Amino acid sequence: MARACDAPGPGAVAGAPNSVAGPPAHTAGVERCRSDVRGPCSGLLFWAPALGSCSGLLLWACVLGSCSGLVFWAPALGLCSGLLLWARALGLSSESMLDVDAVDAPAFVLEDALASGLGPTHVHARHQLLYAASGYLRLREGGEGARDHALPPHRAAWIPAGCAHAVEVRRPSALTTAYFDPAAFDPAAFPPAAALAVFPMPPVGRELLLYARRWGPDHVPSPTGRSCFGALARLAGEWAAAPQLSLPRARTLELRRALAALEEELARPWTLDALARRAGLSARTLSRRMKDELGEGLRAYLGRLRVHAALERLASPGASVSAVAADLGFASPSAFAQAFRRHVGETPSAYARRASP
């Protein structure tokens, strides 16, 4: 990896955001360099009130999606009292510390324990199969037809190469991800859809993914490994064909304001007139905006939004189906169960048994 070095003035850190303070001026003698990997710097380097005498070369890297976030020093980094380093403190994933697109292996698996937070929107040249063993994530699909996808425990997501997305960790999560080089496999082995898809992960999928963990980014899969990854890709194609529960995102400010109001008061018996007043629009204009930007009207979207919220609430320990139904504004537990089954494909009780810790 080529690196561009510079010698900023005292108190500055090369390439860091303005909000990240540099070391005190008395720390002269530290040569600061940054890598020239693409994207703005995330500011993984934080300086405490005092930084001791440092000798040697300090290199640090930018982070944007798959860019490296590793910290290197050579030949010697002296006593550095108060220097806080490391990406894990920010809850970043392994792919934030590894350029997954530069790995030689045709397919490999990474495992992560993620803290709550929202990562940057990014794109990979590899297909991804994500499996959430615990926690709760939201995948924010970018580009045309931007949508939000819920990824609760024991569900998986297929993210095709070139699909812009961001990962929002709503609850600390354990994530296992398989990466596939599209050029290394028969194109027919992959799901045909070019959009992100979320689906329940069957037991056979979990076992195959667990077995594939032995092939990390430093291990080229054996013929058995390639067969394992190929089977995962083909099965993901079948699973990804299931109906999707996702939320389209608004493009205009007024509609975003309306959708935020719905999220704030999910149990409210919303009418088009009441929501239009919150959005600063006429009821007719709001109805047209919803159809144009979301593809559905208020009633259909609100029902989808409530079920989306139920996925997260039912994944909490000790969640009560009847309490969740009441909190989200359903007329009865049976009405909730009917709507939930229509969108998710199983009853709220069955989902809660699998999803809650």
Structure tokens, 147: 């949508």
Question: Taking residues 68-89, what's their average pLDDT?
Answer: 33
Those residues whose C-beta lies under 8 Å from the C-beta of residue 102, and which sit 6 or more positions away, are: none
Superfamily of domain 100-239: Regulatory protein AraC (2.60.120.280)
Determine what percent of the chain is predicted with pLDDT higher than 90: 47
Any bridge partners for residue 155, and if so which? Answer: 132, 200
Q: How confident is the model at residue 9 (pLDDT cuts 50, 70, 90)?
A: very low
pLDDT score of 146:
84
**Would you kindly state where each structural domain of the chain is located, as residue ranges?**
1-90, 100-239, 250-355
Q: Are 33 and 59 in contact (CB under 8 A)?
A: yes
Pick the closest to residue 155 from 239, 211, 228 (CA basis): 239
pLDDT in tens, 142-176: 866 688 999 998 889 999 999 999 999 988 888 99
H or E element, residue 74: strand 71-74
Mean pLDDT of all residues in 293-309: 95
Rg (CA), the chain: 23
What's the CA gap between 145 and 141, in Å, rounded? 8
Cα–Cα dist 260/257, whole Å: 5
Q: What is the pLDDT of residues 14-48, one digit of tens each?
A: 333 333 333 333 333 333 333 333 333 333 333 33
Furthest-apart CA atoms within the chain: distance in Å: 70
Spatial contact of 198 and 151, defined as CB atoms under 8 Å apart: yes
- Do strands 165-180 and 197-200 pair parallel, antiparallel, or not at all (unpaired)? unpaired
CATH topology of domain 250-355: Arc Repressor Mutant, subunit A (1.10.10)
Q: Which two tokens stand for residue 50?
A: 């005092």
- For residue 82, which amino acid is it? G
Q: What is the pLDDT of residue 75?
A: 30
Give the mean model confidence (pLDDT) for residues 188-215.
88
Average the pLDDT over 300-310 and give the result.
95
| Residue 141 Cα distances to 132, 158, 166, 227, 263, angstroms | 17, 12, 7, 29, 19
Q: What is the pTM of this model?
A: 0.69
